[in-house]
Structure 1
Amino acid sequence: MNKAMQDIESTTDAQDTGHAGLVTPVMRALKLLRFVADGGSTANVSDVGRRIGVNRVTVMRLIETLQFEGVLEPLPQGGHRLGLNFLTLAASALAGEDHLATARRVLTRVTTETGLSSYLTVLDGAQVRYLLCETPALPLVSNIRAGSRVTAHLTAPGRSLLAHLSTERRRALLGPEPLAAATAQSARTHAALDAQLERDRDAGCAWSQDGFEAGIDACAAAVLDAHGRPLAALSVAGPRTLVGTDTLTRERTARVVKSGAADLAILLADAPAFLAAAERG
């Protein structure tokens, strides 16, 4: 390797590792794998390098190494996809855990990143059922626990699930007007709820401010299957002092929740119980 290339490698090392002890080549390989898993093409290695922040020569070496190990495999039209060795490894890891245990890991991450309680819920008729709850190391402020059941349209996770059902299905589940209410903010008519759910669907998440419990704000996103049907919902909740009222904080919280829901959509895609819930919806 010539001096110029060593300088490039050293600069990239410094940019890649903000923490002592991290193994830079592994971090680069993971960046490349995430890029491919998200549908990125490796046909143009210079473009790949720009997108993942790694120089062109390193990208070429990573591809060659990962292909040799069966982690990547070439496509006839150019570029690469994840290889069978990688897929087998991932499948073996998932097979060693039940789906709720896997989901809890996502909730733990979401709670760590937001500092808020996180929940996994499913639609159960006109109610949402809370399957999992992960709380930060703070005093509990909500009455919601794992096992709780709440009228769906009164909560952020319930709204995020209802937003992905047909109008006819929603009305059949929720019954005649007036709809149940928890606070003055609760929608009492189907028309008002439909408008609220349309806003939730367009935003990709549902927000609730004092919507079910006084002083508690929540944000939820639906976990959707390949057909756009709701399998479950991921939500966070906490006192407004922790959730925050400024736009930047709320946008960050929404991003974390949506990202967690997207991960759960992959992890729960073949979970029979969740698929059954989607079929019922």
Structure 2
Amino acid sequence: MARALVTGSTSGLGLEFAWQLAGTRHDLVLVARDEDRLRSIAAQIRDVHRVEVEVLAVDLSDRHRLDRVATRLTDPVDPVDLLVNNAGYGLRGGFLEIGVEDHEKQMDTLMRAVLVLSHAAARSMVQRRRGAIINVSSLAGYTAAGPYAASKSWVTVFTESLASELKGTGVSATALLPGFVQTEFHERASMNMEGLPRITWLKAPYVVEQALKDAARGVVLSIPSVKYRTAGEVSRIAPRSMMRALTSPNWYHRLQRKAVGRSRRRASRRNLHAPWQREDPPQ
């Protein structure tokens, strides 16, 4: 039976990866910071799918603890066949509004952990001549929306480079570039996304299903849905001056202004029909 290691596996896409992989009879190694939640999810998955589930309660921004996960990826007795680098989070506020220590911790999670774990997994997998790595990136990496977007740009380019280096080894590397996905990500970052149209959102099960299919086929860049593949191509070829104007860190503030304006218009329409504001009809 194959075994997959998933980071950030207690919420969002990571949790969905865990459930779908268990559903296809993968044993699991689940990695996240919250040990209680990890153990609870592991018990649920074992009960439903009858697979083996290990847990590693690790903060991937802690370099010493990250080594525990890297070591697990090189275990020759119980090897890992699929690595899903999913762990990540957003920060609320502009670059200068947030302390540099918080930026460094985020970068360690979003980039350094991906580098270290991909290196450990790929070397072990190449020796066995089989395996796959999925690095969860984002279409934000094609934008100019702050440090988070810059880190995702790095993940995409790194994965493309890794995929080229692994060609012919029996091991593949895939970068997953979703757009907006209905998960806990934005809520945890205290981001109010009410200004986004409903059509822009993707559902986590669909995103993960497409990513696993693409990884199985050796696709390097997995972009779920036609609308986001189109948006990705436009972003890649658009002048950078245009992308800076459209997707600078100010985009979130513009989104909030739209949400406020929309709420006011809805309230105004409701008030027009409120009984206490209607004029009595002429007698």
Q: Do they superpose with TM above 0.5?
A: no
TM-score normalised by L of structure 1: 0.25
> Higher relative contact order at CA 8 Å, sep ≥6: structure 1 or structure 2?
2
Instruction: Please identify which structure carries the higher helix content.
Output: 2
